[in-house]
Amino acid sequence: MQQRLQKIIADAGITSRRKAEQMILEGRVSVNAEAVTQLGSKADPERDHIRVDGRLLSRATQHVYLLLNKPVGYVSTVSDPQRRPTVLSLVRGIKQRVYPVGRLDYHSSGLMILTNDGDLANYLMSRASSVPRTYHVKLQGRPEAGEIAKLESGVVLDGRRTAPCQVRPLAEGDKPWYEITLVEGRYHQVRRMFERIGQPVVKLRRVRIAFLTDRGLRPGELRHLTRAEVERLKNWKGAR
Ligand code: URA
């Protein structure tokens, strides 16, 4: 069946549809040995030989959806100029190439989704989905109630106010634990938000993405998402 080239490339897990369009415009895609630079071009993934940067797309790449509990000490990029271990080194026995959806800092731990489904990855990262992510953080010191209220109503990072969020105490002490739930994923957002109120984060763990929790998943472990979980993520819309 004829399909738009960008859809075929995204379905093969190479990249998102939007980036696939860019690749087509850049002349990096060919169909049956002919370069295609026209957006809207179609091909049949079952019959045509489609190449991206010279590499043949395998016919029906199966989508894979994994939930990983990232330990501290791994980068969440595909490669690292400093040669630190990447989360991909924790993925074994999966023949498809998967990519992390979003980032968790080297010093942070917790849940990450890895997939070769570029469309779902893009959707989960977009504002349209507003997927809530919940973190447990240990602070350097004790914040005042007013400071927590400030976080909840939003602080300015890079000239833009953060969306309202929920923060609740988890454990008291000189270095208390808090839970924070965000519907955005800006660069180092949790750490920078607490820094804004003068309370550096000393430990950070992502414990929930939408309805997915780390229950039964020890650091370094991963599992496949069920079909029902994938469907629920695909249909996730807005804050709930
Ligand atoms: N916010 C951060 O500051 N770090 C993370 O790893 C995730 C969210």
The tens digit of pLDDT for each residue in 164-189 reads 999 999 999 999 999 999 999 899 99
For 181-207, give one letter per residue: b (16+ CB within 10 A) or e. Answer: ebbebeeebbbebbeebebebeebbbb
Pair (219, 194) in one structural domain:
no
How many degrees, rounded to 5, is the angle at CA 123 between CA 120 and CA 124? 85
Structural domain of residue 123, as residue ranges? Answer: 65-127+215-234
Q: What pTM was estimated for this model as a whole?
A: 0.78
Minimum mean pLDDT among 19-28, 55-64, 148-157: which range?
A: 55-64
Q: Which of 11, 44, 48, 105 is catalytic?
A: 105
Task: Look at residue 97 and tell me if it is in a domain.
Answer: yes
Position 125 pLDDT exceeds 60: yes
Ligand 1 atom closest to the Cα of residue 107 is 6
Distance of CA 80 to the CA centre of its chain: 17
Pair (219, 205) in one structural domain:
no
Task: Look at residue 11 and tell me if it is in a domain.
Answer: yes
Pair (80, 40) in one structural domain:
no
Pair (110, 96) in one structural domain:
yes
Q: Chain-wide mean pLDDT for the chain?
A: 92
Q: What is the mean pLDDT of residues 119-142?
A: 92
Domain boundary among 35, 56, 77: 56
The torsion angles phi and psi of 46, rounded to 5 degrees, stand at -80, -25
Who contacts 133 (Cβ-Cβ below 8 Å, separation ≥6)?
181, 182, 183, 185, 206, 208, 209
Q: What whole-number distance in Å separates Cα of residue 31 and Cα of residue 39?
A: 13
Q: What whole-number distance in Å separates Cα of residue 238 and Cα of residue 43?
A: 34
Residue-level pLDDT at 240: 42
Residue-level pLDDT at 60: 56
Task: Look at residue 115 and tell me if it is in a domain.
Answer: yes
Burial label, 157 (beta-carbon count in 10 A; 0-12, 13-18, 19+): middle
Q: In residues, how long is the chain? A: 240
Q: pLDDT band at residue 137, thresholds of 50, 70 and 90?
A: very high
Position 156 pLDDT exceeds 90: yes
Q: Which CATH number is 200's domain given?
A: 3.30.70.1560
Distance of CA 202 to the CA centre of its chain: 22
Q: pLDDT band at residue 91, thresholds of 50, 70 and 90?
A: very high
Position 115 pLDDT exceeds 80: yes
What total of structural domains would you count in the chain?
3
Distances from the Cα of 173 to the Cα of 33, 38, 137, 225, angstroms: 66, 61, 13, 37
Q: What is the mean pLDDT of residues 189-194?
A: 98
Counting ligand 1 atoms within 8 A of each CB, the residue from 72, 75, 87, 108 with the most, and so the one to mutate, is 108
Pair (78, 187) in one structural domain:
no
Pair (197, 143) in one structural domain:
yes
Pair (49, 152) in one structural domain:
no
Pair (169, 222) in one structural domain:
no
Pairing of strands 65-70, 42-43: unpaired
Residue-level pLDDT at 46: 75
Q: Which CATH number is 20's domain given?
A: 3.10.290.10
Distance from Cα 231 to the centre of ligand 1, integer Å: 26
Minimum CA distance residue for ligand 1 atom 3:
188
Distance from Cα 51 to the centre of ligand 1, integer Å: 36
Task: Look at residue 239 and tell me if it is in a domain.
Answer: no
pLDDT digits (tens, 9 = 90+) for 48-59: 889 999 988 876
3-state secondary structure of 165: coil
Position 228 pLDDT exceeds 50: yes
Pair (137, 205) in one structural domain:
yes
Q: CA nearest 10: which of 92, 87, 95, 99? A: 99
Q: What is the mean pLDDT of residues 32-43?
A: 91
Between 136 and 240, the higher pLDDT residue: 136
Pair (220, 205) in one structural domain:
no
Q: What whole-number distance in Å separates Cα of residue 214 and Cα of residue 28?
A: 40
Is 80 annotated as catalytic?
A: no
Distance from Cα 236 to the centre of ligand 1, integer Å: 22
Position 9 pLDDT exceeds 60: yes
Q: What is the mean pLDDT of residues 190-203?
A: 97
